Amino acid sequence: MKWESLLELVAGEAVFSSAILLAGDQSVSQVRLQLSRWTKAGRLLQLRRGIYALAPTWRKVEPHPFLVANRLQRGSYVSLQAALAWHGMIPEHVPVVTSVGPSRPETIRNPLGVFQFNHLAEGLRFGYLREEVASRQFAFVASPEKALLDLVHLTPGADSGDYLRELRLQNPSAIRMTVLNELAQRSGKPKLIRAVGIVGPVLAAEKGEPL
């Protein structure tokens, strides 16, 4: 495959898989060799094995970090601090894109950022939606309620008022307490059910409401 042919094929893609280049009479070894050459030449960015993006010089679409995260680990969705920040729930900038998914925990560093994945059991992988995170770029992102519950579930001692206050939750109207309670009940996890009873007063304090 020539470089011009690749550009035509992936021009509108923020991120692409090497699998799309294997149509026709292209052999796996030939494709891998050509991709390796283009990567070494600085034309492509290898994000992980089999996943690539065009280098900035040739890029027409700027990859959104959330879309990249979804592509790096199949079956994952953005959650925890990254999703809370995206929903305007915490004040801090989050330099790492945090996700949960079916695979083992791992941290991937590539030219597009740092991506952290936490394992979440199949029975707890719900409460997320396909969101348009940039123009014509879609990614699976936890709702604010589920992002908070995922964080509590994966953090030791997070079902306490001290921990939840340390998060400095803002934009409290974004959390729907009925949804939070429904998701916690669906999880069947006593820790999450306990946390819901604590979140209410913490959010009320953020709103300045009398407890």
* Whether residue 69 sits in one domain with residue 38: no
CATH number at residue 41: 1.10.10.10
Q: What is the pLDDT of residue 211?
A: 42
User: Where is the domain boundary, 58, 81, 103?
Assistant: 58
Q: What is the model's pTM?
A: 0.93
Burial of 66 (0-12, 13-18, 19+ CB in 10 A): buried
Are 18 and 35 spatial neighbours (Cβ–Cβ below 8 Å)? Answer: yes
Residues in the chain where the model's pLDDT stays below 70: 23-25, 207-211
Q: How many domains does the chain have?
A: 2
The conformational region for residue 75 under phi > 0 = left, psi -120 to 50 = alpha, else beta, is left
